[in-house]
A and B are shown apart, each in its own frame.
Chain A
Amino acid sequence: MSGSPSMPDSHTSLSPLKLIGLVVLFIALALLPFVWGNRFYISLITEIMIYGLLAMSLDVLLGYTGLLSFMHNAYLGIGAYVVGLFLIHVSPTSLWLACLVGVVFTGLVALPVGWIQVRTGGLAFALLTLAFGMMFYTIVWKWYGLTGGDDGLMGVPSPDIQLFGWSVGNTGNPAHMYLLTLFVVAIALILTRRIISSPFGAVLEAIRENEERAAFVGINVRRYKLFGWMLACVLAGTAGALYILCKGYIGPVTMSAFAGAGVLMMVLLGGLGTLWGPIVGAGIFIYIQDYISTMTEHWEIFLGIVVIFLVLFMPTGFVGLGNFFKRLRKD
Chain B
Amino acid sequence: MATNRLCIEFEKTGLRSIIGPNGAGKTTFINIITGRIPASSGKVHFQGAEITNKPTHELVKLGICRTFQITSIFNNLTVFENVRIAKQANSGGSLRIFSTKKSLKKVACDTWVILERLGLKDLAGLPAKNMSYGDQRILEVAIALAGDPEILFLDEPTAGMSPAETKHISDLIKGLSKEISIVLVEHDMDMVMRISDKITVLHYGSIIAEGAPEEIRTNQLVREAYLGKDT
Q: How far is the CB of A189 from chain B (nearest CB, A)?
A: 15
Structural contact, A7 and B99, CB atoms closer than 8 A: no
Structural contact, B60 and A10, CB atoms closer than 8 A: no
Closest residue on chain B to residue A6 by CB atoms: B125
Structural contact, A217 and B79, CB atoms closer than 8 A: no
Closest residue on chain A to residue B108 by CB atoms: A7
Structural contact, B101 and A215, CB atoms closer than 8 A: no
- Which residue of A198, A209, A215, A217 contacts B100 across the interface (Cβ within 8 Å)? A198
* Chain-A contact segment, one of B6-14, B43-51, B68-76, B179-187: B68-76
Structural contact, B102 and A7, CB atoms closer than 8 A: yes
Q: How far is the CA of A198 from the CA of B85 in the complex (A)?
A: 12
Structural contact, B80 and A9, CB atoms closer than 8 A: yes
Structural contact, B57 and A199, CB atoms closer than 8 A: no
Q: Which residues does chain A contribute within 8 Å of B157, judged by CB atoms?
A: none
Cβ of B206 within 8 Å of any chain A Cβ, yes or no, is no
Q: Which residues does chain B contribute within 8 Å of A195, judged by CB atoms?
A: 97-98
Q: Which residues does chain A contribute within 8 Å of B34, judged by CB atoms?
A: 216
Give the contacts of A175-198 with B (CB-CB under 8 A).
194-195, 197-198
Structural contact, A10 and B81, CB atoms closer than 8 A: yes
Q: How many cross-chain pairs have Cβ atoms below 8 Å apart between A and B?
A: 124
Cβ of B16 within 8 Å of any chain A Cβ, yes or no, is no
Cβ of B170 within 8 Å of any chain A Cβ, yes or no, is no
Give the contacts of B61-109 with A (CB-CB under 8 A).
61, 65-66, 68, 72-81, 84-86, 88-90, 93-104, 107-108
Cβ of A88 within 8 Å of any chain B Cβ, yes or no, is no
Cβ of B216 within 8 Å of any chain A Cβ, yes or no, is no
Cβ of B25 within 8 Å of any chain A Cβ, yes or no, is no
Contact status of A198 and B75, CB under 8 A, knowing A218-B89, A219-B57: no
Q: How far is the CA of A7 from the CA of B88 in the complex (A)?
A: 15
- Which residue of A8, A213, A219 contacts B73 across the interface (Cβ within 8 Å)? A213
* Chain-B contact segment, one of A77-85, A156-164, A200-208, A251-259: A200-208
Q: How far is the CA of A85 from the CA of B165 in the complex (A)?
A: 67
Give the contacts of B141-198 with A (CB-CB under 8 A).
143-144, 146-147
Contact status of A198 and B101, CB under 8 A, knowing A1-B121, A212-B72, A218-B57: yes
Residues on A lying within 8 angstroms of B by beta carbon are: 1, 5, 7-10, 13, 194-195, 197-203, 205-206, 209-210, 212-221, 224
Q: List 11 A-B contacts (CB under 8 A).
A: A1-B124, A197-B100, A201-B97, A202-B84, A202-B101, A209-B74, A210-B73, A215-B60, A217-B143, A218-B57, A219-B85
